[in-house]
Amino acid sequence: MSEGGAYSQRALVLAPAGRDAEIAAAVLREAEVAVTICKDLEALHLEIHDGAGLAIVVDEALRNADLAPLARWIQGQPSWSDFPFLVLTQRGGSVERNPVAKRLSATLGNVSFLERPFHPTTLVSAVRTALRGRSRQYEARERLEEIRRGEALLERRVAERTAELEAANRQLADQIEEREKVETALRQAQRLEAVGQLTSGVAHDFNNLLTVIIGNIEQMLKRIDDPDLTRRLLLMSEASRRGARLTAQMLAFSRRQKLEPRPVDLNDTVSSMRDLLQSTIGGSVQIRDPDLAADLWPAMIDPTQIELVILNLAINARDAMDVGGSLLISTRNVVTGPPQAPEDPPAGSFVVVSVTDNGSGMTDEVLARAFEPFFTTKEVGKGSGLGLSQVFGLAKQSGGGVKIQTRVGHGTTISVYLPKAASVPSLPPIERHGHEADHGAQALILVVDDDDAVRQVTAGYLRDLGYRVVEAGSGGAALETFQARADIEAVILDFAMPGMNGASLAKEMSTRRAEVPILFSTGYAGADALAFTHEDRLIRKPFRQAELAEKLSNALTLSRKTPVELDVAP
């Protein structure tokens, strides 16, 4: 493109005498150069605008002319523009001494001179040289434009690629962060599961030991009259009971205890516990009026266990506060999304009970281990480290979860999420009877336990109650005895045994004689494993003689009325 129109190789001629212009035009046309003759400077200016490659001007035509408009036009052109002028001067006139030549050079810039008269070849050569130069200017201009377009395209592509890389980096960073969260949650879940499995195994063995200890203490207390020895035995019995409570908390963490969930109004639970909380916590901490939701949904939870949860959280809150601290219990309805941590509840509708204190709060290190059993920041002797683990275990086994909000120096809120209760049929009430044995009947009871000491304690209890007893130390031996003795009226069966376990043995016995009631004694009551039996057919170790007597008597009474069908999963 030219300054004013399409690029052109046209030569413009301006001469005061028509003859000079015609001669120059004729010479150039003969050399096949397009020529336009201009009558004056204004016409020349217009033709340059329309597009031209060269202006041939006789110096007389510019001697007194106003070159300002042309100069302004030249100065306003792009930096690449250098429009050529060829000035025809008189022979013998030096360019340095020619005022017109100096003026043209200063004003128009790209000016070359040719003396007259000139040979036609010289004129054609000068014109073609100027036109070639002008052509190269346009070629250079096009290359520069191509370069600029290429640079712009490159910059745009670099910007687009940079934006794509930045977006990809952000996505990658988000994925890395999400993966780290998932891996952290998985490690925490695996650690809690491993601890839970270890805990349940320890609790099972520990309950067997406690059954032996408590059973023998009960038998010794019946035969001793020495007050000092009796006092010592009672101290041993109470210590064993404390051990049993610890194992119950361990089983709560590992989610191995059997719950009896039913719809519960947590507002009523919290309100009814006010006096118990005050007497347990003491006067060093103020218990504020509870913040109870007016439209609270019923929660599906074991009512006894939720009371222990609230009590545990209140005691922990008290221990985290100085004298004068305050404690607040609140309830609310919540609909949750997908869980972000192992302790979080699943997505769904939950009833939340929260305990808030204004105590010391938890550091990140303490918070990461808050639910681990036996982990505690309290002084030795002031806590077992099982409080929060029991809360965690109960909430998870109930189908909910736990969340902790804490800030060092400002306090902690622990929220327990419990499933919203649905309409569920309740179990029919179990008819209860006195627990004294029918001594006249002399019922024969089969006691099955792979632990000799536990089996002896159970058999001793039963003989003291007037029952006849036959023992077996394994599932196979028990099944042989059960088939051989048609007079067996009830079976007390350990659930966890090597080889044929309690569930398999109960199924075999039920197939042969469905009318014989079977009671399970167990060091841990797994909800899945014992889902087929009722609480009244379950004897948790360690147990007392009175508990064994009551459940056995009830089972025998019911079986004599109606044959019992045991719902044992295959």
Planar angle of CA 259, 515, 456, nearest 5 degrees: 65
Residue that the structure tokens 């192992």 belong to? 342
- Cβ atoms 436, 549 nearer than 8 A: yes
Q: How many CB atoms lie within 10 A of CB 78?
A: 9
pLDDT of 565 reads: 47
- Cβ atoms 277, 297 nearer than 8 A: no
pLDDT of 119 reads: 85
pTM: 0.44
Closest by CA to 359, choosing from 309, 320, 306, 301, is 320
User: Which strand (E) or helix (H) includes residue 467?
Assistant: none
Token output for 246? 């610890």
Is pLDDT above 70 for 356?
Answer: yes
pLDDT of 528 reads: 45
pLDDT of 367 reads: 82
- Which of 206-210, 340-344, 509-513 has the highest average model confidence (pLDDT)? 509-513
Phi, psi at 329, each rounded to 5°: -110, 130
Report the SS3 class of residue 414. strand
Dist. CA 212–CA 542, nearest whole Å: 8
Which CATH architecture fits 444-561?
A: 3-Layer(aba) Sandwich (3.40)
Is pLDDT above 60 for 426?
Answer: no
Report the SS3 class of residue 470. strand
pLDDT of 567 reads: 46
Average pLDDT over residues 89-103: 62
Query: What letter represents residue 330's amino acid?
Result: S
pLDDT of 440 reads: 38
**Four-point Cα dihedral 154, 159, 165, 168, nearest 10:** -130
Dist. CA 211–CA 457, nearest whole Å: 8
pLDDT of 438 reads: 47
E-strand stretches of 184-285: 262-264
Dist. CA 246–CA 244, nearest whole Å: 5
The answer to which of 63-77, 177-191, 403-417, 553-567 has the lowest mean pLDDT is 553-567
Average pLDDT over residues 423-445: 50
- Cβ atoms 251, 524 nearer than 8 A: yes
Evaluate whether 11-118 and 444-561 have a shared fold: yes
Eight-state DSSP code of residue 285: S
- Cβ atoms 54, 25 nearer than 8 A: no
Bond before 84 cis per omega within 30 degrees: no
Average pLDDT over residues 530-558: 81
Give the per-residue SS3 of 300-365: EECHHHHHHHHHHHHHHHHHCCCCCCEEEEEEEEEEECCCCCCCCCCCEEEEEEEEEECCCCCCHH
User: What residue ranges do the domains of the chain occupy?
Assistant: 11-118, 143-254, 262-419, 444-561
- For the stretch 288-331, pLDDT in tens is 889 999 889 999 888 767 877 888 888 888 888 888 788 999 99
Task: Name the more confident of 443 and 390.
Answer: 443
Task: Name the more confident of 386 and 476.
Answer: 476
| Neighbouring residues of 562: CB distance < 8 A, sequence distance ≥ 6 | none
Give the whole-number percent of the chain exceeding pLDDT 70.
Answer: 78
Is pLDDT above 70 for 9?
Answer: yes
Dist. CA 130–CA 125, nearest whole Å: 9
Q: Are strands 444-448 and 468-472 parallel, antiparallel or unpaired?
A: parallel
Is pLDDT above 70 for 208?
Answer: yes
Query: What letter represents residue 13's amino acid?
Result: V
- For the stretch 23-80, pLDDT in tens is 888 888 888 889 998 888 888 888 887 888 888 888 777 777 777 777 777 766 665 5
In CATH terms, the fold of domain 11-118 is Rossmann fold (3.40.50)
pLDDT of 215 reads: 83
Average pLDDT over residues 461-468: 91
- For the stretch 218-251, pLDDT in tens is 888 888 888 888 888 888 877 777 677 666 655 6
pLDDT of 527 reads: 45
Indicate the pLDDT class of residue 196, thresholds 50, 70 and 90: low
Which CATH architecture fits 262-419?
A: 2-Layer Sandwich (3.30)
